[in-house]
Structure formats: C-alpha cells, structure tokens
Amino acid sequence: MKGRGGKAPRKSAPRPEEPLADAILYHVEGPAAWITLNRPEKKNALAGTMRENLLARIREAESDASVRVLVITGVGGAFCAGGDVGVMAGMKRDGEDFGGLGRLMDLGGRIVSALATLPKPSIASIEGVAAGAGCNLALACDVRIASSSAALGETFARVGLHPDWGGTYFLPRLVGCSRALEMFTTGGMISAKEALAIGLVSRVVPASRLAAETRALATRLAAAPPLTLRCAREAVRRSLTSSLSAMLAFERQAQSLCWESTDSSEGMHAFLEKRPPRFTGR
C-alpha cells in the first residue's frame, strides 16, 4: 500500500516491549548451552523483548546442572549490531523521556551482570559485526573467539550516546585506558586481527572454522574441573582491584576448597595413571 505521493509508508521499528518470535534461540548440545541471536535482517540488533529473553536464557543455562559452559553467538554473518537505532529514534520522535531508554539500559546491566556472576565459563563466538551493546555483550563473556571477518566497536558516539552494557568496566581492563578512550570517543570499528593484537579477543580463526573451533573450545572448558574454573574466574576479577596480600589470601582459600574436593583426587590419580581425568564438580 502506498501513501501520498506514491511512496510506500515507512515501516515502523518494533516497540521496545514488542515480542520478537524466535529472536533468541536456545539449545543444549552435550555439556554446552548455545544462545543464538536470531534477527539477521538487522544484524541481530536488540529490539522488542530480546533483552528479556536473553536474560532468561542465561538464567536457564545457569540452573541446568547438565550445562558446563555457555556459548553466545549470532546468525546471518553477524554477532550483534547493538541496540536497534530505529527503535531508539522512534522513542525520541514520540517524545519519550529517558525512562524508556533507562529501562533498556537496566536490562542490559542485568544481562552482563548475570554473565559476570555465572558460575560456569562463557564464550562469545563472534562472526561479523559486534557493535555497541553487542560488543559489550561479547566483552562480558569470559572468552571471545572471533572469525577473521569479525569487526568490533564501541559505536555509541556515532549516534551521540554514551557507552553502556558495562563497556566502561570491561574495555579498559582488557585494552587499557588510553585505547579504551580512543574506541569510546571515535566510535570506530576494529578488525579481528587488531582486536587480537590488543587483547580484545582470545583467538581468531577462519570464518569457515568458527563453529567447529567454538565447539572444541567449549568441550575443553566443559572437561575442566568446575570448582577450579569458578575459583579462577573469581580470582581474575578480584585481582583487578586487590592487593598482592589479598590475592595470596584468596588463593589459599580457593586452594583449600579445591584440595577438599573429589575432583582434585580424581585429577591426581588420573595424572599418575596417565589417563584423562573425569571431573564431576564435587
């Protein structure tokens, strides 16, 4: 149907509360839970109820005892283009105050906080664009593996907005304050090769190998002793704001927990018997 002047009316962007069917997919594959952002026509930009559904799926993975590792990825050659600018522009056009955007920010904060406190390791498997909130979603994961075609960026400045989704927490800790400030203020994208060089991603693989390499990494993490992983993750986070003496005390506490576990007995026996260990998390 065409409007006045023979032009088709502009299709409105989805409202923040609008359900988007199947925009967040979830499945469990062996010991790994996979969350897949599935809005390929918008490079998996976040809109409608995607944030709520993403948070729910993270909580589902956390509560499933069979899940040992969480993977977050996207479809259609993209990870996540961040918040849907069309939605935000519509909110501005409708005269909405900050309350609407603040609610979306709060949901983003809950998502990255859930990842930061998840008692299981998480992997961001990045193909194509990871921009704005999508970049910071990846940064909130423990490990980032990217395809050679990936590009990451803190693109908020391009639309006159401030970084959110924990970007101001995660990015300086990964790349240092100077480089983080450059990324925040220029809003530019960086290639996978450059992201690897500055420590933004852990590894880069050919696009054709991304899924297989992600599965292999998830399998390795799932086979590790869960208590050791959980304590090591907490130690790394504490080390960013703690003294040496505080970290030595934490190491002693964590080592005591691991020593008393059946997994440490299994690990030592497996080592002496020259066989792979079978860790159970006990």
Report the first-to-last Cα separation within the chain, whole angstroms.
Answer: 63
C-alpha distances (whole Å) from 249 to each of 231, 244, 255, 263 are: 13, 9, 10, 22
Delineate the domains of the chain, giving CATH numbers in brackets.
Answer: 12-222 (3.90.226.10), 225-272 (1.10.12.10)
pLDDT digits (tens, 9 = 90+) for 236-260: 989 989 999 999 999 999 999 999 9
DSSP state of 224: S
Average pLDDT of the residues in 176-192: 96
pLDDT of 8 strictly over 60? no
User: Residue 17: its pLDDT value, please?
Assistant: 58
CA distance 107 to 165: 9
CA distance 54 to 137: 11
User: Residue 3: its pLDDT value, please?
Assistant: 45
- Kindly state the tokens that stand for 141: 């994961």
| DSSP characters over 29-61 | ETTEEEEEE--GGGTT-B-TTHHHHHHHHHHHH
DSSP H/E element including 112 = helix 98-117
User: Residue 1: its pLDDT value, please?
Assistant: 40
CA distance 213 to 215: 5
pTM: 0.89
pLDDT digits (tens, 9 = 90+) for 189-222: 999 999 999 999 999 999 999 999 999 999 999 9
pLDDT digits (tens, 9 = 90+) for 19-38: 676 999 999 999 999 999 99
- Kindly state the tokens that stand for 15: 């409202």
pLDDT digits (tens, 9 = 90+) for 68-78: 999 999 999 99
